[in-house]
């Protein structure tokens, strides 16, 4: 995660970071930036249409939370749209006149393409489409960024530092975003299902529920960290656990017989297709 100097050195040029919408992802970004030391409460500004959310953000984080989106744009140079896809059009209408070419606009709204946003704005705009996922809430998210041609390398690096405060970041072409949605966007739900099933298996074999859930979740976490830290193919790592005629070999056989691998691949495929069908282009 970046230190305060990583983002702070650019805030002098880019001004404050504005976040429109303080739902789960909007709040996660605020919390992540503050917790990592990447930004101070004075570096951040937020808006929300709900008075209780504005009060929550100010009371919990000390971050000023306004009602007026256009005012946020006038006070910030980096503007992150963190609202539901159905609300993006209204948000764009509310900030259109306040946006300039000096602003970097970021959208984390699923299924909302850059073409749609630029068409609604009716003018050129440095724009980055982002796809974060649910584990951003605990600082272990995965975010993909797709910058438009108008985005400078400095602006992109700034945005990478912002999202690195809540996990890992990758830059990808926007044409891959439906598949990214199907894999990392929807993926946490698949993993939660697997953790639940593993824990239920432990309970079936006599383990207390709380112990089974701890064993399943930490095993999943540790395995994922091993893949990331060793940068080796999962099949190689799996073979290190499997011994001839051992317990793991028996378990793997049952998973293969049940078609678990094909089911997970199909889940990503179906979620990708669904994302494509919902896209606002």
Considering the domain boundaries, does residue 39 fall inside one?
yes
User: What does the pLDDT look like over 81-90, one tens digit per residue?
Assistant: 999 999 999 9
Task: State how far the Cα of 133 lies from the Cα of 187, in Å rounded to an integer.
Answer: 8
Could you tell me what percent of the chain has a pLDDT over 90?
A: 86
**How many domains are contained in the chain?**
2
CA dihedral sign of residues 199, 184, 89, 21: positive
- Per the listing, tokens 């970097």 go with 104
Is 154 found in the same domain as 67? Answer: yes
High-pLDDT (> 70) share of the chain, %: 95
Domain boundary among 174, 206, 232: 174
Q: Quickly count: other Cβ atoms within 10 Å of residue 47's Cβ.
A: 29
Are residues 138 and 218 both part of a single domain?
no
pLDDT at site 211: 98
Mean pLDDT, residues 97-117 taken together: 94
Nearest to 115 by CA among 133, 92, 141, 138: 92
Q: Is the pLDDT of residue 280 over 90?
A: no
Looking at the fold, whether 13 and 127 belong to one and the same domain comes out as yes
Average of per-residue pLDDT across 247-261: 97
Are 222 and 157 contained in the same domain?
no
CB atoms within 10 A of CB 187: 20
Is 50 exceeded by the pLDDT of residue 105?
yes
Both 118 and 80 in one domain: the answer is yes
Instruction: Report residue 201's pLDDT band, with 50, 70 and 90 as the boundaries.
Output: very high
Work out the widest C-alpha separation in the chain, in whole angstroms.
Answer: 69
Residues 124 and 169 in one domain: yes
**Which tokens belong to 73?**
């744009």
Which of 174, 199, 231 is the last residue before a domain boundary? 174
Same domain, 29 and 81: yes
Judge whether 50 lies within some domain.
yes
Alpha carbons 20 and 26: distance in angstroms, whole number: 7
Whole-number pLDDT of residue 45 = 97
Pick the last residue of a domain from 106, 141, 174: 174
Q: What is the pLDDT of residues 127-175, one digit of tens each?
A: 999 999 999 988 899 999 999 999 999 999 999 999 999 999 999 999 9
CA gap 253, 175 in Å, rounded: 37
Check whether residue 157 and residue 208 sit in a common domain. no
Domain that holds residue 15: 4-174
Provide the CATH number for the domain around residue 129.
Answer: 3.40.50.720
As a whole number, the mean pLDDT across the chain is 92
And the tokens for 29? 């970004």
CATH code, domain with 208: 1.10.3730.10
Residues 15 and 76 in one domain: yes
Q: What is the dihedral of CA 152, 4, 105, 102, to 10 degrees?
A: -60
Do 143 and 259 fall into the same domain?
A: no
Cα 260 from Cα 252, distance rounded (Å):
10
> Taking 80 as the threshold, does the pLDDT of residue 12 lie above it?
no
- 21-48 pLDDT per residue, tens: 999 999 999 999 998 888 999 999 999 9
């Amino acid at each position: 995660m970046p230190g305060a100097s990583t983002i702070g050195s650019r805030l002098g040029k880019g001004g404050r970071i504005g976040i429109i919408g303080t739902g789960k992802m909007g709040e996660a970004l605020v919390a992540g930036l503050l917790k990592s030391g990447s930004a101070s409460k004075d570096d951040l500004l937020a808006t929300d249409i709900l008075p209780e959310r504005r009060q929550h953000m100010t009371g919990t984080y000390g971050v000023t939370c306004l009602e007026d989106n256009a005012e946020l744009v006038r006070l910030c140079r980096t503007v992150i749209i963190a609202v539901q896809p159905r609300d993006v059009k209204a948000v764009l209408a509310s900030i259109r006149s306040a946006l300039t070419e000096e602003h970097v606009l970021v959208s984390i709204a699923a299924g909302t393409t850059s073409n749609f946003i630029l068409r609604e704005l009716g003018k050129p705009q440095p724009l980055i489409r982002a796809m974060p996922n649910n584990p951003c809430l605990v600082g272990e998210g995965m975010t993909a960024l797709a910058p438009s041609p108008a985005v400078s390398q400095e602006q992109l690096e700034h945005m990478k530092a912002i999202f690195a405060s809540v996990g890992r970041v990758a830059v990808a072409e926007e044409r891959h975003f439906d598949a990214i949605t199907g894999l990392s966007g929807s993926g946490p739900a698949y993993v939660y299902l697997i953790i639940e099933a593993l824990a239920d298996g432990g309970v079936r074999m006599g383990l207390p529920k709380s112990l089974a859930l701890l064993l399943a979740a930490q095993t999943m976490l540790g395995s994922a960290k091993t893949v990331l830290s060793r940068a080796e193919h999962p099949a190689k790592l799996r073979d290190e656990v499997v011994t001839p005629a051992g317990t793991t070999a028996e378990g793997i056989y049952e998973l293969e017989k049940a078609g678990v691998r094909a089911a997970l691949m199909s889940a990503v495929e179906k979620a990708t297709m669904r994302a494509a069908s919902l896209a606002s282009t």
